[in-house]
Amino acid sequence: MAQRIFWIVCILASILAPGVNAQERYPSRPVTIVVPFPPGGMADQTARPLATSLEKQLKQSVVVLNRPGASGAVGIQAAATSKSDGYTILVTLVSFSTIPQVDQMFGRTPAYSVDQFEPVALLAADPPVLAVAESTPWKSVKDLVDDAKSRPGQITYSHSGLYGPSHVPMEIFLAASGAKMRQIPAVGGAPAMTMVLGGNAGMWASPPSMAAPHVKAGKLRVLAGWGAKRHPAFPETPTLKELGYDAEFYVWSGVFVPKDVPADTQKAIREAVRNAVASDDFQSALKNLQIPVDYREGDDFKKFLAADTKMLNDAIKQIGKLESEKN
């Protein structure tokens, strides 16, 4: 009898085992955070401390994978087409909202659509600053605008990619000031900064966290900011609105997952991200980088996205098709 019971238990265990494994608690293996920009930019700067804090929350390795290209479209598309199991998380910037519209404007099939993703949380929303090389003659925005108007198209600025988070704010500023400059695309924020530091471009719309160490080192000057109020990292620097230019813009960093990730897995990710952002490690990391944390989730994040996307769509329509995109 004992032997018969033993074999019955073994048979039941073999039948039930697949069901038990199928409902294994998330996560049971390493998680990948896709960053659609090169190392060194704001998306990377927020993703890496998030990954470190998430490891403690999820009890699994969290790897940051940089997939740059096409102003972020390459990495975002890779995340959109990844398996919807919660093991691929996207941390991206404001250009997430503009890339599909730009594709449509040029008659291209969009690389992805925003409705392929579910918003998880906003991590930060930081206005860029107008950073110029120390070797340039401009001491104020007025100096810069006057110079640009005296020689249209001769002054250059770099950016992280067409219609991206450092290109759009510059075009908003140029439209508001009436100045004309020549843009030089790079493949991300760090290369765009390198172009300015190397004298290959006069300026760019820089994340404050990237500009601050170079300002301290005497290699850059910051002339203005795109925020509604002065940036805490540069309290003496006026905003463009203060100076009379209708130019406001925020580089935000947010967390997304593919739309079809199971609801219980999405809930686990959202809770882990919430706790990770609240951790001392994450808060200290962003404070050291001078990136202000602006955490929002759920409906609050969705409302923020809706309002920001409308503003961006209006800006893209104003910019229109650029010659470099027509060729």
19 pLDDT band, cuts 50/70/90, is: very low
Contacts by 213-220 with C-beta closer than 8 Å and gap 24+? Answer: 214/131, 215/131, 218/134, 219/133, 219/134, 220/131, 220/132, 220/133, 220/134, 220/196
Does residue 6 surpass a pLDDT of 60? no
Distance separating alpha carbons of residues 273 and 123, to the nearest angstrom:
9
Distance separating alpha carbons of residues 34 and 67, to the nearest angstrom:
7
Beta pairing, strands 220-225 & 182-185: unpaired
Does residue 15 surpass a pLDDT of 80? no
- How is 161-216 classified by DSSP, letter by letter? STTSTTTHHHHHHHHHHT---EEEE-SSHHHHHHHHHTTSSSEEEE-HHHHHHHHH
Q: What is the mean pLDDT of the chain?
A: 90
Helix (H, G, I), strand (E, B) or coil at 38: coil
Name which of 16-25, 162-171, 204-213 the model is least confident about: 16-25
Class in CATH terms, 129-249: alpha beta
- Whether 31-126+250-319 and 129-249 share one fold: the answer is yes
In the chain, domain spans: 31-126+250-319, 129-249
Q: Give CATH superfamily name and number for 31-126+250-319.
A: Bordetella uptake gene, domain 1 (3.40.190.150)
Does residue 82 surpass a pLDDT of 50? yes
Contact 75, 69 (CB under 8 A): yes
Structural element, H or E, at residue 222: strand 220-225
Please tell me the pTM assigned to this model: 0.78
Kindly state the percentage of the chain with pLDDT values over 90: 76
Handedness of CA 106, 111, 117, 120 (dihedral sign): negative
Q: Tell me, what's the pLDDT at 327?
A: 35
Instruction: Provide mean pLDDT across the span 130-152.
Output: 97
Instruction: Provide mean pLDDT across the span 209-226.
Output: 95
Does residue 10 surpass a pLDDT of 90? no
